[in-house]
Amino acid sequence: MLRLCGFHVSNYHNKVRIALLEKGVAFEEDANCRPSQKDEWLARSPLGKVPILEVDGAGLAESQVICEYLEDAYPQRPLYPREPLARARVRELIAVMELHVELVARRLYREAFFGGKLSDETRQEVERDLAKGVRGFKALARFSPYVAGSDLTLADCAAFVHLPLVSLATKLAFGRDALEEIAPLKPYLKMLGERPAFARVNEDRKAAQAAMAAAARK
Ligand SMILES: N[C@@H](CCC(=O)N[C@@H](CS)C(=O)NCC(=O)O)C(=O)O
């Protein structure tokens, strides 16, 4: 049995959840798990992050590793093309989005969402590195109509959860959406949001965010 553990505001949790729903794989979910450096959570998640996927009770970490496992173990409704180079292209897009766009923008989240303050040096570094990542993503993204081409892939699951967060964080931290120059992005994200799996995950994210904001006001 599979159990996805994390919470509905986490973009990485939501990437895996969309993949599971799109593939039609049965799973249970514990959406009350938060990142933590406490021994109890570290015993389940080696870096204390979310999500993890429990497979017959044993935890597997890292959303990309989890999704690759799901492809291997549940080949139905594949989220990768068959041809090796086309598969590599999907992975290339995911790596650029996650390592060179989301992970770079993540350094802004404390200031953008949690009232922290970044040094000028960090802001400059993020702006510079993000420009490189966005340029790379723009060069690779196809939007025809899916990000890697004619079929829905795991790169779409990643794009849907990461890119709106990057837009929001850069708008809040820099006063400018770092992805605004990618004209097809908004209609593409809207198209994905009309798919039932994506819509469900998005609705649950909004509800969880509203609940977190209400709890913070108390
Ligand atoms: N590379 C990891 C990233 C997961 C990640 O950063 N999750 C965030 C929540 S969205 C987290 O656990 N943050 C807490 C931390 O980094 O300690 C993955 O793909 O699963």
Tell me what pLDDT residue 216 has: 87
> Is residue 58 located within the same domain as residue 90?
no
Angle between helices 11-23 and 196-217 (to 10 degrees): 150
Residue count (the chain): 218
Strand order across the 2-5 sheet: 28-30, 2-5, 52-55, 58-61
Ligand 1 centroid from CA 50, angstroms: 5
- Of ligand 1's listed atoms, the one at least distance from the Cα of 10 is 10
- Give the H or E element holding residue 202: helix 196-217
Q: Nearest 5 degrees, angle CA 177-CA 180-CA 181?
A: 140
pLDDT of residue 135: 98
In a domain, 79, yes or no: no
3-state DSSP assignment of residue 5: strand
Of 19, 38, 73, which residue constitutes the final position of a domain? 73
Those residues of the chain that have pLDDT short of 70 are none
Its domain, for residue 145, covers 84-217
12 lines ligand 1 (CB under 6 A): yes
Do both 122 and 172 map to the same domain?
Answer: yes
Q: Does some domain include residue 78? A: no
Distance in Å, CA 52 to ligand 1 centroid: 10
Ligand 1 atom nearest to CA at 9:
10
Q: What is the pLDDT of residue 217?
A: 86
The token pair that represents 158 in the structure block: 């990643």
pTM above 0.85, yes or no: yes
Query: Hey, whose CA ends up nearest to atom 17 of ligand 1?
Result: 49
pLDDT at position 200? 98
